[in-house]
Amino acid sequence: MSSGHGGGGSCGLGTVQCVIPLEQAQQFVLSSVAQLDPVTLPRAEAVGRVLAVDVVSADDVPPFDNTAVDGFAVHAADVASGEADLRVVATLAAGDHTDRVLERGEAIRIMTGAPIPAGADAVVMVEDSEMVADDVVRLSAVVSSGAAVRRAAEDVAAGETVLSAGTEITPAVLGVLATVNVHEVSVRPAPRVAVASTGDELVVGDGPLRPGQIRESNRPMLAAALREAGCEVTDLGVIPDDEELLAEVLTSAAASHDAVVTSGGVSMGDYDVVKAVLGRIADMTWMQVAIKPAKPFAFGLLGGTPVFGLPGNPVSSLVSFEMFARPALRQMGGHQRLSRPSVVAVVDEDLRRGPDGKTHLMRVRADFADDGRCHVVPVRAQGSHQLAATATANGIAVVPDGDGLPAGTEVAVLLLS
Ligand code: AMP
Ligand code: MG
């Protein structure tokens, strides 16, 4: 898959400036990036990472039969009549143990988590008990054998694969690792990603803008989006439209990172220097994706390192990141679910568009209503330069080519939060 800067070419991947459907562009990117090599981390440092191998438990969890409630361990047969007076012969707290075997007619006072004593086969909860003498309890409940008993290995059996490769380490997973006595885990590392903006018009400092200048938004936005996607970020700053400098910065960034993300300079303009430079030093595919916004997109390998060339318009940059970079970076990090969760939502306000051969990725407010369904309304402005409106969105509605979707119809929506 190679195509340099400039030149024409027939349409289809592997050629220059092909106009391709969204799914094809996504597929191409995903087929070009591999999972990162595993690293071993202390489990507490692995939250958010993805297991590279299965975790097999050496132990049963729970390790022994124990009580789920505070109460009295009994022979279930002793309380079959619904009321029984039993002699209390011992007390067991969580952490205690007794070798005493419970005889018929006896009960052992027992607290949640304590081992079920030998002989007992059920627990009557304390709410159904009354002490009628110093060592006699009246139990007024019928329980079946096994009642309120948590069996050994009921959660995890020794030898069982308790967590499989591909599992993201969440707080609950961390708890499981602790339970099965695993202190270090083999995980896919967080992708180290360098991010740069390009453009002579971009201003970073807080000084006044000279005519023609704008304040730079994409790099902080993309850096935050990268972190949110589980990446470690290096900020390369704003690089002026200088081919020599850009080549140097991108080459060195690619050599020391797992991926490079650039913003700006990938469309058809004369000053699209990212395009000129990457076309020269990397193995790039320049795409015109049949979507709006974010039509121009470049992907390739620079010294084997994936490079995502996102468009400069801020909304396009963000949407392009969502559609192409984020899924690919998640794949590198070992994730199984690459895209955002998608729901079929009810359109509450017309999603207006005209036919143009593209899928429109409209930014919407998505909320779950009392009918149990997700409902969407478009944010107030859909221009690719109108980031303030997009910042109010929490979803991207996938509006197929055509005359738009009127209120009351349905639309597929990617939920961003
Ligand atoms: P480009 O993709 O470089 O042709 O830029 C397209 C539009 O996005 C132009 O209006 C640029 O000024 C604007 N733009 C490019 N990069 C940024 C950025 N990092 N922050 C804000 N606007 C940008
Ligand atoms: Mg530019």
| CATH number of the domain that residue 106 is part of | 2.170.190.11
Do residue 326 and residue 347 come from a single domain? no
Do residue 50 and residue 170 come from a single domain? yes
This model's pTM is above 0.85:
yes
Q: Is residue 12 part of a domain?
A: no
- Domain of residue 51, CATH code: 3.90.105.10
Q: Is residue 112 part of a domain?
A: yes
- Domain of residue 314, CATH code: 3.40.980.10
Total domain count, the chain: 4
Do residue 98 and residue 76 come from a single domain? yes
Q: Which residues line ligand 1 at a C-beta cut-off of 6 Å? A: 197, 199, 201-202, 214, 216-219, 263-265, 267, 269, 311-314
Q: What's the CA-to-centroid distance between 10 and ligand 1, angstroms?
A: 28
Q: Is residue 219 part of a domain?
A: yes
Do residue 143 and residue 161 come from a single domain? no
Do residue 178 and residue 193 come from a single domain? no
Q: Is residue 13 part of a domain?
A: no
Do residue 267 and residue 313 come from a single domain? yes
Last residue of a domain, one of 303, 332, 361: 332
| Distance, CA of 334 to CA of 347 (rounded, Å) | 34
Residue percentage of the chain with pLDDT more than 90: 92
Q: Is residue 3 part of a domain?
A: no
Alpha helix (H) residue ranges in 216-272: 218-228, 243-256
Q: Is residue 326 part of a domain?
A: yes
| Distance, CA of 187 to CA of 203 (rounded, Å) | 39
Q: What's the CA-to-centroid distance between 300 and ligand 2, angstroms?
A: 19
Last residue of a domain, one of 125, 150, 175: 150
Do residue 91 and residue 200 come from a single domain? no
Q: At what angle do helices 273-281 and 243-256 cross, to 10 degrees?
A: 50
Segments forming the whole domain that contains residue 120? 66-150
Do residue 134 and residue 106 come from a single domain? yes
Could you list the mean pLDDT of each consecutive 10-residue stretch along the chain, which spans 417 residues? 39 60 98 98 98 98 98 98 98 97 98 98 98 98 98 98 98 98 98 96 94 97 98 96 95 98 88 91 96 97 98 98 98 98 98 98 98 98 98 98 98 97
pLDDT at 79: 98
Last residue of a domain, one of 288, 307, 332: 332
Do residue 210 and residue 281 come from a single domain? yes
pLDDT at 18: 66
pLDDT at 68: 98
Do residue 210 and residue 301 come from a single domain? yes
Residue whose Cα lies nearest atom 14 of ligand 1: it is 312
Do residue 321 and residue 350 come from a single domain? no
Residues, CB within 5 angstroms of ligand 2 (ion): 199, 264-265, 312
pLDDT at 17: 59
| Distance, CA of 215 to CA of 387 (rounded, Å) | 13
Do residue 118 and residue 91 come from a single domain? yes
pLDDT at 58: 98
Q: Is residue 14 part of a domain?
A: no
Quick one: residue 324, left, alpha or beta (phi over 0 = left, psi -120 to 50 = alpha)?
alpha
Q: What's the CA-to-centroid distance between 264 and ligand 1, angstroms?
A: 5
Q: Is residue 232 part of a domain?
A: yes
DSSP state, 126? G
Residue whose Cα lies nearest atom 4 of ligand 1: it is 265
Residue whose Cα lies nearest atom 7 of ligand 1: it is 313
Judge contact between 272 and 263, C-beta under 8 A: no
